[in-house]
Structure 1
Amino acid sequence: MLGILYANQGKLPEAEGMYERSLEGKEKALGRDHTSTLDTVNNLGILYQKQGKLPEAEGMYKRALEGKEKALGRDHISTLDTVNNLGILYQKQGKLPEAEGMYKRALKGKEKALGRDYISTLDTVNNLGILYEKQGKLPEAEGMYKRALEGYEKALGRDHTSTLNTRALEGKEKALGRDHTSTLDTVNNLGILYQKQGKLPEAEGMYKRALEGKEKALGRDHTSTLNTVYNLGILYQKQGKLPEAEGMYKRALEGKEKALGRDHTSTLNTVNNLGSLYQKQGKLPEAEGMFKRALEGKEKALGRDHTSTLDTVNNLGILYQKQGKLPEAEGMFKRALEGYEKALGLTHPKTHTVTRNLQLLYSSRVNAPTGPGRSDPVSRTKVPGRLSTKLRSIIPFRKRSQQ
């Protein structure tokens, strides 16, 4: 119980100590394969996932799953909960097909064991919606979200917190109060929504309200508080308020390094965004340092082919192009393009973006001035035939203006 309490308070190292002590004791008293032991194994997996220790989390989930399948059966709800957790982990690792397989297995099992409208079933439906959205399958995502919302409303009422996770703020304010942490999470999410819609002043208001409330309820250094600080940094950068953005990113980075560690994926995302900010400020050496740190950390934590890793690869390509390091830029763009095609497909917006980056790089080479002092062979490099065909098949080259 202490481990759960510490985890809920964001005290992850303390929670880890409690869980590990509990696991050791249960293994001795009950055995490695007792269901109570396996519950603690599953909880350790959840904790490791929160800490960004994804390989360790995967090991715990797989052990819990194997044990529960033997002790309880493949279709027991406790087994299916671990299947669902593995789906969440695979999604974080960028293993989207594997995540989809886990979610579908969990959903099928829960529908049989619990029914289509049971809360745990609907949680997996909602998770599938999130996955489909990441895969760019927007009609499928919409169908999952609508089913989850309809089910939550029937089972829990329109103002229950689970219903409101897929709806809006007003109900949570009524049910829990304006300053409840769950209400503030929704305020933060509304900020994200407004930002995506281009309603930047409204987004800023939501983030500031969420930040003020979280600082009071959770403290300045809680990870949930720091997430909102980070979101404010992104917003300020979009608004062109670069000094304010830098302040938010630095505060978020310092806090996350302390709370989560230097190599946690959330920390590394902040490092990556600081790199983007430094690039906008013209601080190219500082940007390169941030991007390289983020890339090295993401490769270790997530793997070379995770979409988040590839985002940083693409960012490094853009930076190298600005620095005039065209061969290095080409290498980064090619790696990002190949990875996005495998993970997301040819038609995903991220694939299109890096294709455009390569197109512009090759166009700059073809159009580079020649003559005395302009004989750099790099600038005259031709587009490789296979890649040239691929580029034209996705986004046609712009016609050169007539001289």
Structure 2
Amino acid sequence: FVAASLNNLAELYRVQGRYGEAEPLYERALAMREKSLGPSHPKVAALLGNLAVLYYNQGRYGEAGPLYRRALAIYEKTNGPHHAAVAAVLNNLAELYRAQGRSERLEPIYKRSLAINEKALGPEHTSVGTLLNNLAALYRSQGRYDEAEPIYRRSLAIKEKTLGPGHPDVATSLNNLAGLYRAQGRHGQVERLYKRSLAIQMKTLGPDHPNVAWTLSNLAELYRLQGRNGEAETLHKRAQAIIEKALGPDHPSLAISFSSLAVLYRTQGRYAEAEPLYKRSLATLVKAFGPNSSDVATSLNNLAGLYLAQGRYGEAESAYERSLAIREKVLGPDNPDVATSLNNLAVLYRTQGKTAQSLSRIRRAVDIRRDRAIRTGGGKGSGRLSEQKSIRYVFLFHVHDTLAMSNIDMENRVSLVAEGFESGQLATASSAGAAVSRMAARFAVGDDKLADLMRARQDAAARWRQLDGALVKAVSQPAGKRDLGRESALRRALARNDDKIMEIDARLEKSFPQFAELTAPKPVPLLELQGLLARDEALLTYLVWDDRSFVFAVRQDRVMAKEIKLGANELTDAVTALRKGLDPVGVETLADIPPFDTTKAFALYRKLFQPVQQILQGARHVFVVPGGALQSLPLGVLVTEAFNGKTEALGDYRKVPWLARNYAMTTLPSVSSLKALRTFARRAKASRPFLGVGDPKLEGETGSNRGVALTSLFTARGVADVSSVRGLPSLPDSYDELRSMARSLNVDDAALLVGGAATETALKKMKLSEFKVVTFATHGLVAGDLGGLAEPALVLTPPKVGSALDDGLLTAGEVAQLKLDADWVILSACNTAACDGTPGAEGLSGLAKAFFYAGARSLLVSHWPVASDAAVRITTRTLKEMQVPGVGRAEAHQRAMLALIESSDRPHYAHPLFWAPFVVVGEGGPTQP
């Protein structure tokens, strides 16, 4: 009884953060039970676990581990390996490994513990909720956000049901879900979750508990990001006071609090107030971890940033160099934090006009980022939004510096432009990793040679991330707690893993070059790209940055690169304005058609095309790799001269000098895709002219908008919720469109897969390689990672019960596994703007790559739903023009658009709403003989 009372009081003190008072009580209770019950009794194991939790809370990981392992051995021996008590200790041990950076051990432990608890305690037990929370946290730390979210939600629901909505553990779950949303940039849902969590903690734990401080800090940071500086400052100061009172003036958590408030002051230009906070944060970390820890390096980096903002360049350089030296020594020369330090030094030198020094630093940063991307295979899941942005920033910074240097070093101008051209491709690739990694995962199913290699590659990449994380955590420990032997072992394991990855990649590239291009494309050198272009062809690739953009214009024998005074937000605004004049929603009669702003179209043309107009002279066919919001605009609607004519009648738009008149244009998802299409092109053997797929059997209200918003479309298993898919709007017009297209090609209804027959199962059973033209007229979900959708997809008729084989969504990964031999795949009425109306969705890129891999040579894709008769005219005329000798796909499409503009029987077709929706994606040149 005495031991139990001591344990209970110790537990109370621990929960209240009174660790010093709790420890001697636990120790007394443990000694009593060992003496009265023996060292292997389950009650002894319980106390060992409690004392280990206390050590864990205090950061005394080396002391906690042996206690957890001893408790685990007792429970496994006395209760059996499948007992709930075993699961509880496994979970705690996993949390310890997570804190130590030994993440390679976590997932199997969590899953074993979860399976035990679900079987022993039921699927809605509190312990199951805790384990789900921990598994979700692991996935979140690995950037696997789409897997983490449904698990976090299930954990929260269990805790609310079993503990009540006002329990502190519910507050923790709310905090975790809010953190996930914040990491993804989904700020709209975050504040409500943090405030609910804070209310629970204040009521149950009291206003001075450390957990209250953490939530206050999280909410303050959200307010800072939203520009609510006064509210943020108040909360940061409250959090700081709580931490100092509860944990003492030298606790490392206080350093974080100082730094957070300093960041707020710095963003407001309150440098004099920020500096002492940064310095106090640095002093606290040096005292806690020693002068050479990674945390100290981060603090120095922050202080250097403050000096840079004030123009104190010498002090900034000294602090940045010291931070870099620590990171190189502690973390290794290829760590991403080293790349960050190099990037910051490059910014410092560029600010001072020292272009050569800036370029040398950013080159090293690019090498680190590129090599890590190769090793990790792009990661799994969505990835950290902030990390994706920082990686892209490094590559775009390199583009900037190479172009700036090319204007100074004229002797090496071409080589510098070529260097920037490759970095620009890396910047584009870094923002499209999620869909491609999902696509690649599909190929790791089965038992063929490719599947075996893919599984080995994914395992090696996962192992690399685990070892790298473990090493970072190990070297970040305070000097007195570092295990140098383990650090050396981790470095050796990383080196062995590097060799394994390189060997697998070499085998993949040799045996499956098309697959390597699909999943891990390498930048195409400038000279190699020029060799792929015909004399009358040009390639434009646009890179969109925060406050500026870049364009590379490439011809067979020359190249031009320019910086454009057009940032991401300004471009988005321009594209949004033009899309308003192309929006078919609400158009019932010709009188409803919105006017198109030719003045704004000319203004955008001047910014995008005039800087490189000289190099485009003589080009007939132009490939375009669009960036940012440009992905949501067919560039043919730009206007090449100031147009002062009237457009009161729709037929007046014939007089407009459209860019579509000047060039046959083809969209490419990436520069490397042109190499893949022209290197791997093969002669078509398909004999049947047409297959039309669409008009899926859906039960939502009839609508014409085929780009839809999603909220909760996926289950935790990654299979679509078929009831949600079934609830999408039905599309009866799509049947008429497909039927008209079939008639124009002299094909009967037997060539249509429509209605209830338009299922994934039926499509996958067909011999699709027999069809020259395959058309999908259905919803296109191409706006990226929405509602759990991690890759673009086409909607088909959902089954009664969803499965991995058939859930009503034909995703890019499934498209890539189809066997096509099609000159054309036509995607009619896929909305390429995001479902909230924001242009610039990445989805089209992934879908196009998937169709190319499956065997399509070109896609004809619509940017918005269009009247069926106009769609049929464009598509059938395009196919007809391709029969003319020497006419390529892009030129055939150009001729079809111009014919529509000049239609004598339909003068309203001169409005770009009718003639401009389709773009050619892929191989726009003539068909290979």
Partner of 1:183: 212
Deviation at 1:109, TM superposition (A): 2.0
**Contact preservation (8 Å) 2:61, 2:96:** no
* 2:343 aligned residue (318, 326, 347): 318
Partner of 1:287: 320
Deviation at 1:361, TM superposition (A): 0.9
Which digits, 9 at most, give the CA deviation of each residue in 1:368-392, with x for residues without a partner? 24578x6689983843997665444
Deviation at 1:111, TM superposition (A): 1.9
Q: Give the direction of change, closer, same or farther, for the CA distance of 1:389–1:377 in structure 2 (3 Å limit).
A: closer
Partner of 2:86: 79
* 1:227 aligned residue (249, 256, 270): 256
* 1:255 aligned residue (284, 308, 311): 284
Which digits, 9 at most, give the CA deviation of each residue in 1:170-213, with x for residues without a partner? 23333344334443333233223333444333222211122233
**Contact preservation (8 Å) 1:118, 1:155:** yes
1:368 has 2:405 as partner: yes
Correspondence 1:1-400 to 2 at 5 A: 8-9=17-18, 36=44, 40=48, 47=55, 51=59, 69=76, 72-92=79-99, 98-165=105-172, 166=174, 167-262=196-291, 266-267=295-296, 269-281=298-310, 282=313, 283-297=316-330, 299=331, 309-310=335-336, 312-322=337-347, 323=349, 324-339=357-372, 342=376, 345=379, 348=383, 349=385, 350-369=387-406, 380=416, 382-383=418-419, 389-394=425-430, 397=543, 398-399=550-551, 400=561
| Whole-angstrom distance in 1 between the partners of 2:227 and 2:146 | 23
Which digits, 9 at most, give the CA deviation of each residue in 1:133-184, with x for residues without a partner? 3334434333233222222222222222212222422233333443344433
**Contact preservation (8 Å) 1:30, 1:37:** no
**Contact preservation (8 Å) 1:327, 1:378:** no
| Whole-angstrom distance in 1 between the partners of 2:51 and 2:262 | 32
Letter in 2 for 1:251: R
Q: Give the direction of change, closer, same or farther, for the CA distance of 1:319–1:266 in structure 2 (3 Å limit).
A: closer
| Whole-angstrom distance in 2 between the partners of 1:213 and 1:252 | 16
Deviation at 1:93, TM superposition (A): 6.0
* Number of equivalenced pairs: 385
Deviation at 1:234, TM superposition (A): 3.0
**Contact preservation (8 Å) 1:284, 1:319:** no
**Contact preservation (8 Å) 2:392, 2:427:** yes
Deviation at 1:80, TM superposition (A): 2.5
| Whole-angstrom distance in 2 between the partners of 1:130 and 1:328 | 35
Letter in 1 for 2:239: A
| Whole-angstrom distance in 2 between the partners of 1:53 and 1:360 | 41
| Whole-angstrom distance in 1 between the partners of 2:260 and 2:201 | 21
Partner of 2:865: none
Deviation at 1:45, TM superposition (A): 8.8
Which digits, 9 at most, give the CA deviation of each residue in 1:23-72, with x for residues without a partner? 9xx8xx977x8874897599569747964878x97788677756765565
**Contact preservation (8 Å) 2:366, 2:398:** no
**Contact preservation (8 Å) 2:366, 2:395:** yes
> TM-score, normalization: structure 2?
0.35
**Greater strand content:** 2
Q: Give the direction of change, closer, same or farther, for the CA distance of 1:387–1:181 in structure 2 (3 Å limit).
A: closer
**Contact preservation (8 Å) 2:362, 2:394:** no
Deviation at 1:318, TM superposition (A): 0.9
Q: Give the direction of change, closer, same or farther, for the CA distance of 1:331–1:40 in structure 2 (3 Å limit).
A: farther
| Whole-angstrom distance in 2 between the partners of 1:156 and 1:286 | 49
**Contact preservation (8 Å) 1:160, 1:175:** yes
| Whole-angstrom distance in 1 between the partners of 2:307 and 2:371 | 27
Q: Give the direction of change, closer, same or farther, for the CA distance of 1:226–1:368 in structure 2 (3 Å limit).
A: closer
SS in 1 for 2:419: coil
| Whole-angstrom distance in 1 between the partners of 2:219 and 2:391 | 29
Q: Give the direction of change, closer, same or farther, for the CA distance of 1:88–1:268 in structure 2 (3 Å limit).
A: farther
SS in 2 for 1:163: helix
Deviation at 1:289, TM superposition (A): 0.8
SS in 2 for 1:154: helix
Structure 1: where are the runs of 5+ without partners? none
Q: Give the direction of change, closer, same or farther, for the CA distance of 1:234–1:338 in structure 2 (3 Å limit).
A: farther
| Whole-angstrom distance in 2 between the partners of 1:249 and 1:295 | 22
**Contact preservation (8 Å) 1:38, 1:64:** yes
Deviation at 1:126, TM superposition (A): 1.8
**Contact preservation (8 Å) 2:358, 2:401:** no
The structure with the larger Rg is 2
Task: Name the % identity.
Answer: 28
Deviation at 1:95, TM superposition (A): 6.3
| Whole-angstrom distance in 1 between the partners of 2:160 and 2:49 | 33
| Whole-angstrom distance in 2 between the partners of 1:304 and 1:59 | 33
| Whole-angstrom distance in 1 between the partners of 2:295 and 2:124 | 34
Query: Which moves more between the two structures, 1-10 or 134-143?
Result: 1-10
Q: CA RMSD in A?
A: 4.6
SS in 2 for 1:116: coil
| Whole-angstrom distance in 2 between the partners of 1:9 and 1:368 | 59
**Contact preservation (8 Å) 1:10, 1:222:** no
| Whole-angstrom distance in 1 between the partners of 2:267 and 2:228 | 11
Letter in 2 for 1:171: I
Structure 2: where are the runs of 5+ without partners? 1-6, 175-195, 350-356, 432-541, 544-549, 552-560, 563-610, 613-929
Q: Give the direction of change, closer, same or farther, for the CA distance of 1:215–1:104 in structure 2 (3 Å limit).
A: same
| Whole-angstrom distance in 1 between the partners of 2:71 and 2:300 | 34
Letter in 2 for 1:250: K
**Contact preservation (8 Å) 1:64, 1:82:** yes
| Whole-angstrom distance in 1 between the partners of 2:138 and 2:148 | 8
| Whole-angstrom distance in 2 between the partners of 1:59 and 1:340 | 37
**Contact preservation (8 Å) 1:368, 1:379:** no
Letter in 2 for 1:161: P
SS in 2 for 1:383: helix
| Whole-angstrom distance in 2 between the partners of 1:296 and 1:209 | 37
| Whole-angstrom distance in 2 between the partners of 1:76 and 1:226 | 41
Q: Give the direction of change, closer, same or farther, for the CA distance of 1:175–1:339 in structure 2 (3 Å limit).
A: same
Query: Which moves more between the two structures, 35-44 or 100-109?
Result: 35-44
SS in 1 for 2:405: coil
